[in-house]
Every structure is written in structure tokens, then in C-alpha cells.
Amino acid sequence: MSDKLINSSSFHLDSAITETGLVRSKLYSTPRVEICDARGKRIGILIVAYNAVSTIAKVLERIPTDVWEQVEEVVIFDDASRDHTYQMAMGLKVLSNLEKLTVIKNEKNLGYGGNQKAGYDYFAAKGFDIAVLLHGDGQYAPEILASMYAPLVAGEAHAVFGSRMMSTYGGPLKGGMPLYKLVGNKILTYVENKALGLTLTEFHSGYRAYDLHALQHIDFSEMTNVFHFDTQIIIKLHHQGYKIIEVPIPTYYGDEICYVDGVRYAQDVFLSVYRYRQTAKSLAVYPEYKEYFVHYPVKESRRSSYEYFKRWIGSNKTVLDVGCGEGFFSSDVVEAGNRVVGVDMIPTSRNANLMLDFVQADLDEGFSEAVMMRLATHRFDRILLQDILEHVRNPENVLLQCKQLLNNAGQVLISVPNVANVTVRLSLLFGRFEYQERGILDRTHVRFFTKSSARRFIEAAGYEILQQKASVIPIELAFGLSPSSPLMKLANSTLAVLTRLFPAFFGYQLLYAARPKPARA
């Protein structure tokens, strides 16, 4: 680094810049923190800036000398400012000979969240390990940058959030945070902690540091480009099991222009948490969280298809789980003392490590010859066709091929949705037949069955039916409530009686245990 390195005691600008008075502004005093050795980690500082011509010089000046020495690059992403932020930053780079400073101006305004995405992509593409987010308006203290990235260097966390609510630097009011903002921040943080099961002291600080290797597993594609991006990234990190810790930071409110509409921001935060919970519970699919939607979540309520199938499988069986997905049900089957081979069209299953084998296959026309040869190395006691036949154009082929994979006492366990269910009948009564993300009218269904037509279909494929059941409507999924709650227990028991009396009318799924018919002499 040049001897003209920006630090708290030496800041080289030409007289024209100095005359603006930028370096004479008085800021709160911030204790100096101990320097953190980078330990071979490639650290980048991402400064997001918009119309920051009056503050960007001071932000750079306040970065300690030892931080400049430890980090590999400081990048200012100017988000298409309407003032001379870019020109000012370039002038600082040239006049102060800041070799580690890079200045990039977006051709169009990307928004607060979009600008962050661009910055993280920039550092990730260059193979950096850590990125620290710093604002160009001077609201967050560059003097404590080392405190932000130190836990990441030590491997203690995947994300570090600065919190103004901690008392180390006197708390938020001492730093000038308006009372109404403090109250709003506390309320939002309380709601988010309760909804997500976290215990953060603050959700809404923009001073953050990230392990870039963790961020590469976060899908940014549908995330917002505006201010509640910070909330969405917390949600995703937490959902995916990454460790988040907080460090205290000072609060500073000056005369910088705030571009956040507080009421709109609060609405966006509440909505973002709601959309995540709906998606995670598989009640709806919102694009920014679509990767967390489980198309067929495990049904934990009594008298569900999963309960019947676990009973029919028993233990010490070799099981072929066709359409296993991520293997949530397969893991329960393995836990019960069985051996499982999984088949699905996805490249791999999250629980593939629990299986004897996992085979990728498209079942639309049945098993291919290659798949059949691979599966034929096993002989199965049970073949699970849970919610499979309604998704393929030639389910007859699947049933016929399954007979070749069963051992002499083997059975196929089949579930199909009951299109004659009371909910569909009522919808038709009012002229509605709307496809949905999942359920009986799942938009990916290409075949429909009733109680009588499903039985005829299975028997026509050369099977004899040993047992048949109808599962209870999983209303706990519809309402997003726990099946163990008293209300859901009562509702489930009531529906169970109705389903037993009128299976063709109240049955949600039609369940069959069948075996191949013996060959005639």
C-alpha cells in the first residue's frame, strides 16, 4: 500500500476537495478496536453508495490503516447516483494513490438490495472469502471494521451483524436514534424473532459481514432489490442453518438523507416474514423463498397416508420409494429398520446418504431399460407409489414394471388423490375448478381417480387389492397449525368418522396395498 494510505491521521486530498469541508465534519468518537489478522482469508469491503458525495471521503478516511493493510480490496458500488459520488471517489483514489480502492458505477439504479447482490457477486467471482458491508453515508463506523470480520476469520460464524441495541457504545438513543425509530425497530425485531425462532437484538442494522462461501448457497435470484433485502437474507441464512452472531456497534444519526420510507419498510418486513412462513409450511409458494417449498410435506396427523404406509411397510423390508423427492419419508422408513432405494427425477436427494441407492429417472413413460437393469439388482418387499400415478402419462407402464421388481411376497403401496372429495365437489357446485400448487388439484396432475376408478385401474394392471383405506383431509396443512393442537385433534377425529362412513365423499387420498395376481394354470 502506498505511503499515502488513508488513515485517521493522514488524508491526502487536493485543495479543491478540502475546500468542501468534508474532512472537517465532527463525528462521534469511536473506541479503537484491536486489529484482526486476516490469517490468509481474502477480505473485501463493499461500500454501497447513493448520492454520497458529501460523506464518501470521510468514510474512507475513517477506515483504520491496519484494516487497509489486512483487507485485499475496498470496492465502492455507486448505484447510479445523481450527484458526483463517482467522480469524488475516483478523485480520492487517484489523489491519495489508493491502490486497493476500486470504484464501480452501476449503469442504472439497482436499489439497495440489488446493489448488494452486485457487490457479493463481484467478490465471489474473484474468489474472496469474506465481504463486509459498509454504507457510504457514514451511518456506520468504519473504525470497528475489524470487529465485524474477526469472527468470520476465526471461523466462529457465517454472518456477523452489527447491533446498535447493545449497550457497549451507549445504546441507540445516545447516538441520536429518534425515539419513534427505536420503538419501531424494537417492535419489528420482536415480531421477527418470534416468527423465526431467533434471539437477535436487532434485525435492521445495515452493518454486516458475510462468509462468501455461505452466500454462494443463498439463492438471490428472486430476492427483493429494495431495503427489506436485509430481512430476507437473515431469513435464508437462518433457514439453511448458518450461524449468525452479533457484535455491538455505535449509533450515529447525522444530517445524511434517508431514502427509506419507514411505513413501507415495516409493511415489507411483515410481508416478507409472512411469505416465508407460508412457503416453509408448504401452504403457498412465493418466488423469493421457492426453494424452501416442500411439494409433498410429511403428513404428521393421524390417519394420514404416511401413517398407513408406515404400518403396511413394517420393518426389516427392502423398499423401493418411487418419487422419493428429498427423502423425508424415506428417512422415517429407514429409521423403522428398513432398507430403501430411492427413485426421483431430481439429480439427487437430500437424504440419499441414508439409502442403499438413489436413481435419477423420469417416470412419465415408465422406467427406462437402464433404470430397470439397475433396480433389478434388488428384489423389493414393498414398492411405494405415493402420489405418483396421477403425475405420469402412462401409469399403466409403471404398475406393470413394478411387478418385475417385487419378490414373491412383495406388495405395491399406492396412493392417489380422490377427485370426488367433498372440497372438489363443492368447488364444482359453484363453477370453480382451479388448479393449485399442491393437493387434489395439483397443477402437475395429468390423471384423476375416484374410489371406484382407482380400484378398477389397479386390478386391470394385474394386481389383487389386499387392503384399501381413505386418508383424512389434512386440514392442519391448510391452516398451518400443529396436528397436535387440541383444535386440530378434534377436527381430525371428526373427519376420521366421516371418512370411515363415506370414504368416496370425504376421503382425501385413496390408499391401496396390492400384490400381483397369481398366474393362471
**300-358: pLDDT as tens digits:** 666 788 889 999 999 999 999 999 988 889 999 999 999 999 999 988 888 889 999 99
**Does 335 lie in the same domain as 453?**
yes
Going by C-alpha positions, the residue among 203, 206, 47, 204 that lies closest to residue 118 is: 47
CATH number at residue 246: 3.90.550.10
Strand partners, 364: 366
| Beta-carbon contacts of residue 510 (< 8 Å; ≥ 6 apart) | 415, 416, 417, 418, 449, 451, 454, 468, 470, 503
The CA distance from 242 to 202, in Å, is 17
Instruction: Specify whether 162 is located in the same domain as 219.
Output: yes
Say whether both 284 and 371 belong to one domain.
no
H or E stretch including 264?
helix 262-280
If DSSP codes are grouped into helix, strand and coil, which group holds residue 51? Answer: coil
Total domains in the fold of the chain: 2
For residues 353 and 275, membership in a common domain is answered with: no
Q: How confident is the model at residue 13 (pLDDT cuts 50, 70, 90)?
A: very low
Indicate if 286 and 311 belong to the same structural domain. Answer: no
Over the stretch 235-267, which tens digit does the pLDDT of each residue have? 999 999 999 999 999 988 766 556 667 789 999
Predicted local distance difference test score (pLDDT) of residue 129: 97
Is residue 18 helix, strand or coil?
A: helix
Residue 181 lies in a domain: yes
pLDDT tens, 376-402? 999 899 999 999 999 999 999 999 999
> In this structure, is residue 474 part of a structural domain?
yes
**To 10 degrees, what angle do helices 451-460 and 395-405 make?**
50
Contacts of 453 (CB under 8 A, 6+ apart): none
Note whether residue 9 is domain-resident.
no
Q: Which amino acid, 445?
A: H
The predicted structure's pLDDT at residue 350: 83
Q: Is residue 296 part of a domain?
A: no
pTM higher than 0.75 for the full model? no
**Distance separating alpha carbons of residues 521 and 167, to the nearest angstrom:** 86
- Which domain CATH number covers 438? 3.40.50.150
Examine the domain organization and report whether 498 and 354 are in the same domain.
yes
Does residue 349 lie within any of the structural domains? Answer: yes
Question: Is residue 59 located within the same domain as residue 186?
Answer: yes
Percent of the chain surpassing pLDDT 70: 88
- Which structural domain range is residue 221 located in? 30-253+262-291
Q: What's the distance, CA 350 to chain centroid?
A: 15
In this structure, the answer to whether residues 283 and 352 fall within a common structural domain is no
Could you tell me if 170 and 242 lie in one domain? Answer: yes
> If we measure between CA atoms, which residue out of 256, 249, 264 comes closest to residue 206?
249
Residue 25 included in any domain: no
Q: 322 and 234, same structural domain?
A: no
- Residue 346 · residue 325 · CB < 8 Å: yes
Q: Dump pLDDT digits (tens) for 124-162.
A: 999 999 999 999 999 999 999 999 999 999 999 999 999
Which pLDDT value is given to residue 285?
A: 87
One domain for residues 283 and 322: no
